[in-house]
């Protein structure tokens, strides 16, 4: 029987899949989802990534299916998005998150509009009049029970999942404050008969709900685009293809393509599969794999890859890999795994709340018991007031705002500098960096070829005559090298000629008077044209010959960004080890590394090798590892790093995959971001210090600790004012970040 069981286990291995989850708002949600998922028979492991709003499940398919997990999570307010189509799943999750964010915004605005008059009614000279109390009761009831109902729903879910957190304390404190106030508003005479003053605290309950809603909205809005990277990668593959079967060309869904099918790709279209060119010639932009901006010539027998961009020729391709079996599919899976393998985001406030909430509840219960035991004659009056004061004064408003408010201000300040930060955890990571890995092309360099040296082999007079014709020939080509040389010539194009492009070689042009060749060294040698000896400088060569003689030699190189060396030197002064990884030639990478001061180089490197390099650094590092890139081929490494930075001028995939986007082309913005991170850390520490001092001092006073000695008892009204003052102090301190240079 044991042998049969082992054999059965071998026949049914566990499945590991990642699913988007709608409704994740904090680390407590992650703990709840993980706990609930693992409680289902057949689920061996569940890891939630708060930043990407996903859950990775490892399960036995014979015992449980994702639909079973989704059913359980739905009972607790979470929605597991499941579909076989990755793009559809991500798009569906994104649409639901946008709807949820819109609903949260409406609740926040509605709560604020209803809270404002409650504050005016509670603080004005009419606050004791009956009409003001009843109106406050109605408005605060709308805020607490309607706009803030999610706190009570989530609190109940957290209690059921045995994961008490911020929502639990928010629901308890607002519920007690609102409930006590409602009783005081409805039966004031009965309370007075018991010797209890019927004070109401509607403004405290409403303000708490509004502040917390605002913090949740700011946090969720900042997380909205985290899954856009995977969606952008998947969308690089077209949904339909031009399939040729039995000589007939039809538009067919990509999902119906099989290995061995022949697919026709027109100029300007993305290649949908991995395969072999069987007919036609073209240039293909393969930045997806190499990161290099120069197109690659393709002819029959050459390999092509899904997601790469076809140039100006029509090619027929024999499919060798389709869908998730392509290299692009492997990149998608690698990004999924890298993002989901990160530990769930443990926000400091939620970690504290995991201990703080039970402690506050215990203090409130102990307060009630102490009054009953030591002052039974006053337990129904002063004892009840003390319990209410403890719950009100212990409201985590300042604690809950300490981090998100400071982060929200820092995010806004970063945006003013031209920096988009998608993951607030990045601020902490940047201050504890051990390694920074840079891509080369488009990151440390500008990503486009420029002329660094040129030599004419014509007299000045002939040069002026022939340069316009040469430019006219070059402008007939879409190749980046031709365009760069044409721009360098800086003369108007003139002259008519017929131009033929020769894949992998260059151009041939002719008219009634001249024959012109433009291309690489091999193209010249084929026509017995003598060219200069190979240069020892790492640069790309372009030669122009006219009527069998060399007339121009040009050397091009990708220019280094002006502030690249400044950034590298700044990082090295902070003790950070700087690396360069590139898909380009080793000599080109070494040239850039030497120019900016980088010693550690990996080149040439494929996307998987870049990811492996970053992973190895993370495994051996005592601090964090950051990746800075701009291309699609950097997406895996960006996802693998502890934090990732992309240039806004780079590919959409890199921008979406990154935690930080530097808008424009200034690497020095990263220095400004690190300075902002330092200020943010100090501000958050100050906020938490104030919040803790406030709670440590006022909770014992609210419980009545000073009453036996001095008769001092913190009134609930004063507790509400103190709570508000604490929140204002935290917000005011956070706003100082707006003036960070």
Q: Does the annotation mark 302 as catalytic?
A: no
Distance in angstroms (rounded) separating the CA atoms of residues 535 and 587: 12
Distance in angstroms (rounded) separating the CA atoms of residues 570 and 597: 11
Which contacts (CB < 8 Å, 24+ apart) does range 650-656 have?
A: 650/442, 650/443, 650/447, 651/287, 652/232, 653/229, 653/232, 653/233, 653/236, 654/629, 654/630, 656/225, 656/228, 656/229, 656/231, 656/232
Distance in angstroms (rounded) separating the CA atoms of residues 150 and 209: 10
* Strands 549-560 and 445-456, sheet pairing: antiparallel
Q: Quick check: helix, strand or coil at residue 62? A: coil
Distance in angstroms (rounded) separating the CA atoms of residues 94 and 660: 20
Distance in angstroms (rounded) separating the CA atoms of residues 554 and 520: 10
3-class SS shares of the chain: helix, strand, coil, % to 5: 55, 20, 25
Nearest residue to 366 (alpha-carbon basis) of 128, 702, 12: 702
- Residue 679 corresponds to which tokens in the numbers above? 């200020």
Torsion, Cα 224 230 233 236, to 10 degrees, reads: -70
Torsion, Cα 349 353 356 357, to 10 degrees, reads: 150
Catalytic residue among 261, 274, 285, 439, which?
Answer: 439
Q: Quick check: helix, strand or coil at residue 156? A: helix
Which uninterrupted H or E stretch holds 385? helix 384-393
CB 367 within 8 A of CB 640: no
CA end-to-end distance (rounded Å), the chain: 71
Q: Quick check: helix, strand or coil at residue 307? A: coil
Name 18's bridge partners: 56
Burial of 225: CB neighbours in 10 Å, binned 0-12, 13-18, 19+ = middle
Distance in angstroms (rounded) separating the CA atoms of residues 674 and 669: 9
Residue 16 CA neighbour count, 13 Å, CB half: 7
| 176: phi then psi, degrees, rounded to nearest 5 | -65, -45
Q: Where are the alpha helices (DSSP H) in 59-148?
A: 66-75, 86-123, 130-141
* CA angle (80, 86, 92) in 5-degree steps: 50
C-alpha to C-alpha distances, 216 to 78, 212, 222, nearest whole angstrom: 16, 6, 10
* CA angle (232, 238, 240) in 5-degree steps: 150
CB 57 within 8 A of CB 19: yes
Catalytic residues, by residue number, are 439
């Amino acid at each position: 029987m044991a042998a049969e069981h082992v054999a059965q286990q071998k026949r049914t291995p566990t499945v590991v899949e990642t699913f988007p989850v709608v409704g994740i708002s904090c680390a407590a949600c992650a703990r709840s989802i993980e706990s609930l998922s693992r409680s289902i028979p057949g689920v061996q492991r569940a890891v939630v990534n708060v930043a990407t709003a996903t859950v990775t499940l490892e399960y036995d398919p014979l015992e449980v299916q994702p639909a079973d997990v989704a059913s359980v999570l739905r009972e607790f307010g979470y929605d597991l998005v499941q579909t076989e189509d990755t793009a559809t799943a991500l798009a569906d999750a994104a649409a639901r998150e946008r709807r949820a964010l819109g609903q949260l915004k409406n609740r926040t605005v509605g709560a604020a509009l209803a809270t404002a008059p409650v504050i005016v009614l509670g603080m004005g000279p009419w606050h004791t009049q009956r009409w003001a109390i009843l109106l406050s009761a109605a408005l605060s009831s709308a805020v607490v029970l309607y706009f803030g109902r999610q706190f009570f729903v989530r609190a109940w879910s957290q209690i059921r999942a045995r994961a008490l957190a911020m929502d639990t304390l928010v629901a308890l404190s607002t519920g007690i404050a609102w409930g006590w106030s409602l009783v005081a508003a409805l039966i004031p005479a009965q309370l007075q008969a018991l010797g209890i003053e019927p004070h109401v605290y509607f403004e405290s309950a409403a303000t708490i709900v509004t502040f917390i809603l605002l913090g949740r909205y700011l946090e969720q809005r900042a997380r909205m685009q985290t899954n856009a990277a995977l969606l952008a990668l998947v969308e690089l593959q077209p949904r339909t293809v031009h399939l040729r079967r039995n000589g007939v060309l039809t538009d067919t869904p990509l999902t119906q393509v099989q290995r061995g099918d022949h697919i026709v790709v027109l100029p300007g279209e993305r290649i949908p599969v991995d395969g072999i060119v069987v007919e036609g010639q073209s240039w293909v932009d393969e930045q997806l794999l190499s990161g290099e901006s120069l197109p690659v010539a393709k002819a029959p027998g050459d390999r092509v890859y899904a997601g790469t961009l076809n140039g100006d020729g029509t090619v027929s391709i024999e499919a060798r890999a389709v869908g998730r079996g392509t290299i692009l599919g492997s990149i998608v899976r690698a990004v999924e795994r890298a993002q989901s393998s990160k530990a769930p985001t443990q926000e400091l406030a939620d970690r504290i709340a995991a201990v703080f909430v039970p402690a506050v509840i215990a203090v409130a219960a102990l307060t009630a018991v102490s009054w009953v035991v030591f002052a039974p004659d006053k337990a129904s009056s002063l004892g009840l007031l003390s319990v209410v004061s403890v719950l009100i004064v212990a409201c985590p408003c300042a604690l809950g705002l300490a981090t998100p408010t400071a982060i929200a201000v820092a995010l806004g300040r970063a945006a003013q500098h031209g920096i988009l930060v998608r993951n607030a955890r990045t601020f902490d990571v940047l201050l504890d960096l051990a390694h920074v890995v840079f891509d080369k092309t488009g990151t440390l360099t500008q990503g486009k070829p420029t002329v660094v040296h040129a030599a004419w082999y014509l007299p000045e007079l002939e040069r002026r005559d022939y340069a316009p014709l040469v430019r006219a020939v070059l402008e007939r080509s879409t190749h980046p090298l031709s365009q760069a040389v044409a721009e360098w010539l800086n003369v108007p194009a003139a002259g008519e000629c017929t131009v033929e492009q020769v894949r992998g070689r260059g151009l041939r042009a002719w008219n009634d008077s001249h024959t012109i060749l433009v291309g690489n060294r091999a193209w010249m040698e084929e026509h017995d044209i003598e060219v200069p000896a190979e240069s020892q400088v790492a640069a790309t060569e372009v030669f122009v010959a006219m009527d069998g003689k060399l007339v121009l030699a040009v050397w091009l190189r990708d220019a280094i960004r002006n502030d690249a060396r400044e950034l590298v030197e700044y990082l090295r002064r902070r003790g950070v080890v700087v690396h360069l990884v590139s898909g380009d030639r080793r000599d080109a990478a070494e040239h850039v590394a030497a120019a900016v001061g980088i010693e550690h180089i990996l080149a040439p490197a494929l996307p998987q090798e870049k990811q492996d390099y970053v992973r190895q650094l993370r495994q051996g590092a005592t601090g964090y590892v950051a990746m800075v890139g701009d291309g699609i081929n950097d997406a895996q490494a960006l996802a693998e790093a502890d934090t990732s930075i992309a240039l806004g001028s780079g590919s959409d995939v890199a921008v979406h995959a990154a935690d930080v986007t530097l808008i424009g082309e200034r690497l020095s913005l990263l220095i400004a971001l690190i300075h902002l991170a330092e200020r943010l850390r100090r501000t958050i520490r100050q906020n938490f210090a104030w919040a803790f001092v406030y709670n440590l001092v006022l909770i014992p006073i609210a419980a009545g600790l000073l009453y036996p000695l001095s008769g001092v008892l913190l009134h609930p009204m004063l507790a509400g004012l103190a709570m508000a003052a604490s929140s204002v102090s935290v917000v005011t301190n956070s706003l100082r970040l707006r003036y960070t240079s």
